Every structure is written in C-alpha cells, then in structure tokens.
Amino acid sequence: MNKTDWRLIEDGPMDGRLNMAKDWAILTACERGEAPATLRLYGWDRPTLSIGYSQNELRDVDRAQCERRNIPIVRRFTGGRALLHQFEFTYCLVAPIPHSGFPGSLAGAFAVVSQAVIASLKKAGVVNPEMVGRGKRTLGHNRSPACFSASNHWEITVMGKKLAGSAQRRLNKAFLQHGSILMDWEPDLAHSLFRYSSESEKSQGLKSMTSKTLTLKGVLPVKPEWQELAHCFAGGFQDTFPGSWKKETLSLLETELMEGYLKENGIMSSVKGLGNTFDCSQGL
C-alpha cells in the first residue's frame, strides 16, 4: 500500500463502545497491511467514561455512580487515565510501522502527531497552543485517576493548562494514537465518577483537575461546532502529512473485524450505526 496514501473518516458522535471497536478494527487491518494510514474524527453520542488499558478500574472508578447516572464504561486499548467523554472532539490516527511521515520511536511519533494537532487548533483560532516537552511534564495530584489532572510529554497546553490529551498503542507493524479535545465540560460530573482513598484526596483531586484543564469554550470567543473542528483537523493533519487524502469509510474487512470484536466482547444488540445491532450492556 502506498505510504503517501491517507484515508479520512468523519463519523461524528457515536456510541462509545462502537467508537472503540472501530478504532480497533482500523488498527488491526493496518497491522495486517490491509488498511492505509487513517485519520478518524468522531465524537460521543452520550457521556461515556473511558479508562486506560492498564488502569485499575476497581481502585479508580466508582462503578455504582456510573450506573446511577447511566454512564457506560469502556476500556481503551491505549494507556493513560480515565476520561469522561462528553462535550468532546476526538481524533484517532492509525499508521503503519514504518511510515515515511513518522520517526520510528514512540516519542518521535507522538511529537509529530502533536505538531498536527497544534496546526489544527491554530486553524480553529486557538492562540499559542504548546506541546509539553521532555522535562516539562506538568504533574497534577499524584493519586488522581483523571486524565486531565496532568499534562504529559507531547500533550497540548494553552496558558499552562491542558487542552488536548493523547495516548498511543504500538503493535509490531502499526500504531494508533487517540486524542481528546474538550469543547466544554462538567468537572463536578466527571469528578463524581472517580474513587479516592480519602475525602482530602478527593477534594485535592477536584482542585487539580479544574485548575489544570482548559476547554475550547474557555479559550475561544465562541465554542465551535463539531463539524467546524472536523474541517480544521482535516486541514491541519493534511498540512502536516502531505500525500493523497481520500474521504472514505471502513472497508468490508474492517467492518467484519469490528463486528467480530463486538460479539467477542458480549455486545450483541443495541449499538446504533451497524447493519445489525449489538447489545451494549457490557463495557469493552
């Protein structure tokens, strides 16, 4: 497959479990050499909590609170800490290893993708977005399970606050990077879904999250619509990764992989967006 070929998929808001299944299918097909480098842009059709690949759910997540608020929990196959996806714009970039657009290391790939995110945010009107460099990691409350409580290397900040979070998963022949940009948020709702070992730790966790997080609503004169951001991100990534870009959808193979993933994880009926429907009673 030509290494200068790029596919753009714009899905808009979708069910969280379907989002994870689609991303996994693209990564798997790319790993097999049967999918081009792909930028997928999407949102979330209902508040959904995602937790990192290795995160301890029992320690960090208040499942009873999630159930009371009817908030599904999904496990990402990228790392990082928990994040409530609500008023959010999400990108997923998948590319083969090796690829001419990326250095061979995780750090190098992160840095290049962050440059594309910065270019995209500038197109949206964000002033002076900056990438967190090595040695400049902004630590939040050490025990906080929340993604936006700290800015890690290569993530994006504005005025010292985190605007775009990201996490990466690398296989032998392909890698995937997720990125989240908060358009708006409800910090009290997000905070209520996490577990802490004490009331003082819980109070400090909320302070850390609110003091270190920035949203597009807080940095732009007018909060952009999802489609406006999609246009900006498509442009920013195309400027950063020149080549032949085509707007497409999943291939037949990827659709089959996605459906197999949903069935394997016990999700059999009620996910919208497929020819068949699947049950979302269990998290991935």
Catalytic residues: 147
Q: In Å, what is the CA distance from 14 to each residue of 4, 17, 260, 282? A: 29, 9, 18, 17
Residue located via tokens 């966790």: 205
Chain centroid offset of residue 238 CA: 19
Nearest in space to 85 (alpha carbons), one of 113, 141, 45, 35: 45
Nearest CA among 227, 272, 194, 226 for reference residue 87: 226
Cβ(93)–Cβ(187) below 8 Å: no
Which H or E element spans position 8? strand 5-14
265 vs 283: CA distance, rounded Å: 8
Distance CA 244, CA 177 (A): 21
Place of tokens 């320690």: 59
Cα maximum dimension of the chain? 55
